[in-house]
Amino acid sequence: MQAESNAQGWRKIAVQSWQVMTLGLLLSVVSFPSLAAESLEAELTSLEAQSVTGDWQATEERLDALAPQLAEADPALQVRAGLIRARNAAIGGNEDRGLAMLEELLEQAPTDALRLDVHSLTANLAMNIGRYAKAFEHLGHGLDLLDVVDDPAPRARIYGHAAMIYTRMGEYEQATRFGDQAVAMARETGNRRELCVELERLSNAETETRGWIARHATISDAERTCEAANDELFGAAMIRKRGLLYRDRGEWAQALVVLAQAREAIGELGFARGMIVVDLDRAEMLIEMGELEKAEGLLDGTIETLEARGDLMDLERALIAAAELAEARRDHESAAQYYRRAREIRIEWEERERDLRRTYLRTAFETEIQRQELELLREQARVADLEATTQRQRRLFMGLGYAATAVVSVMLFVLLMRSSRERRHFRRLSERDSLTGLLNHSHFFACAQQALDEARADEQGFVLVLADIDHFKQFNDTHGHAAGDGALRKVAALFHRVFGEDAVIGRVGGEEFALALPAWNREGTLARIHRFRRKLEPLSYDGQRLQITLSFGLVEAGEDLSVRAMHRLADEALYEAKGAGRDRVVEADHERLDPVDQ
């Protein structure tokens, strides 16, 4: 009996052990996919950070290794991986492939939050490669999704990209509002790296909208946040911005120390373009301080590198710095060549900016038209409903029907009139410089050619004048952009007063003005320019009286000369005036013009 009882006990224990093992095996089978998904999501989160600040090729290799797991993953993780691959394609120089991948992801994204991220990255990439219409289209779609997306992370990113795009357009007030919203959303996420990026974008927008103390607070906050997030690249960028902030306040010694720290941090990361930009910052300051040998050492090879990279804004800065060094060596011929090349780069850059501005205005106008058309459709639907009701209750509501029809007609008329006014408003924006109210580059030369044709038909004279504010970059660096804007407005207003309503006047570059004078001759024009120079008083700004001078290039219309040819002659005369010491007038020599240019 005792043996039989023991045997039964052992059988019971064995059965219980088998049940426990079976249950454990089932639990492991059930929980394994969950653990695998969590592991894959953590890996994607790491890759998302690496794809922004690290080696894109290494990121792509890690994604390739995850391909088997991604093939079985849910659609949301697949779309996140696709976003990383699209970014890698763009960073690797294949922007078109990156955009095509994003268009496919837009169809695959299972949630509004992921669609928002796809629109955000598409807008950013399209803006970077000059596809402005696509950039504004996706930015608009992304902002529309904010009404249905509560997750602060994608909301922060679309606001941040909007801030970046509007900063690029020069719409600094709107960019700052977007930047503030991006930072607020990033703080909600608790993600330090996200906050680091959005603070950097806000600091760009604040350059033209907020004072030194507020900008310093943003930059300091960004530095601390980026350091806590271990984001060395953005951290180094913020050190550079702090150096530039000291430069703007005139603390040049401190600025040079901080910029040297930024250069060291960027150099440790091997970021070649960043090192060039910081060296250029330092060289410009050293030129102003008279330390020419140090500046020349920093500029060595910079122009060639920037030309190869196609960085137009920094290339213009480097050319102007080289011209100032040549002037200091009294090498006026080289200085004129550098200035002329800088001018060509400025024209190319401003043409890109005008294209961006035209696309923005066209997009804004089309959006407004679409909104108004929607209003019209709604009103027409209301009219149809009203007419149907009127038919059913004609005897009772005949008077009401006529009254409603009249009201709707008036509303339609008002909407159409408003549309017409806004069309004229947007057309004027595309033809005028927003700061001075003068004609912009493209519209000025179109009007100047028309004025020249009319003057020749009437057998009258015609003179073209180019004028450029002397040392304007130094003026801006020393006194700030607000003072520079005041100088531009003051010069524009005085041109109007001195040359009158018959003159065609335009702002054709950053600090360059042009005047087309039909029915004028060289003697009368020279006299009026000297009158302008006598009347140009110093600019009163912030308790100071800031001296302004201009250099002029003048050309009188010769037989069969086009406006383009006259512009080239006047431009050469202007550079001679600058090379000869500025604050003077130089007349062009017609004999310099090649026959093919006439």
Residue ranges matching CATH 3.30.70.270 in the chain: 441-597
Query: Would the pTM count as exceeding 0.85?
Result: no
> What pLDDT does residue 86 have?
83
Q: Is the pLDDT of residue 421 over 80?
A: no
Average pLDDT value for residue range 112-118: 90
> What pLDDT does residue 41 have?
77
Higher local confidence (pLDDT), 550 or 395: 550
Q: Is the pLDDT of residue 4 over 80?
A: no
> What pLDDT does residue 377 have?
61
> What pLDDT does residue 26 have?
33
**Number of neighbours of residue 156 by Cβ within 10 angstroms:** 25
Report the distance separating Cα 183 and Cα 163, nearest Å.
11
Q: Is the pLDDT of residue 424 over 60?
A: no
**Which CATH architecture best describes the domain 1-149?**
Alpha Horseshoe (1.25)
Q: Is the pLDDT of residue 391 over 80?
A: no
Note the pLDDT tens digit of each residue in 282-296.
988 988 888 988 888
Token digits for 488? 């531009």
Note the pLDDT tens digit of each residue in 500-519.
888 999 999 889 999 999 98
Q: Which of 242, 176, 178 is CA-nearest to residue 206?
A: 176
Q: Which phi and psi angles does 310 have, rounded to 5°?
A: 75, 25
Note the pLDDT tens digit of each residue in 219-234.
999 989 998 988 888 8
Q: Is the pLDDT of residue 547 over 90?
A: yes
Q: Is the pLDDT of residue 405 over 60?
A: no
> What pLDDT does residue 32 have?
38
| 90 contacts 98 by C-beta, under 8 angstroms | yes
Q: Is the pLDDT of residue 348 over 50?
A: yes
Report the distance separating Cα 259 and Cα 266, nearest Å.
10
Report the distance separating Cα 202 and Cα 299, nearest Å.
30
Report the distance separating Cα 278 and Cα 31, nearest Å.
52
Residue ranges matching CATH 1.25.40 in the chain: 1-149
Q: Is the pLDDT of residue 53 over 60?
A: no
> What pLDDT does residue 75 have?
85
Note the pLDDT tens digit of each residue in 130-139.
777 888 889 9
DSSP codes joined into one string, 404-472: HHHHHHHHHHHHHHHHHHHHHHHHHHHHB-TTT-SB-HHHHHHHHHHHHHHHHHTT--EEEEEEEETTH
Average pLDDT value for residue range 447-474: 93
**Which CATH architecture best describes the domain 441-597?**
2-Layer Sandwich (3.30)
Average pLDDT of the residues of the chain: 81
Using alpha carbons only, give the angle 474, 479, 483 rounded to the nearest 5 degrees. 105
Query: Amino acid identity, residue 524?
Result: G
What's the distance, CA 6 to chain centroid? 85
> What pLDDT does residue 127 have?
80
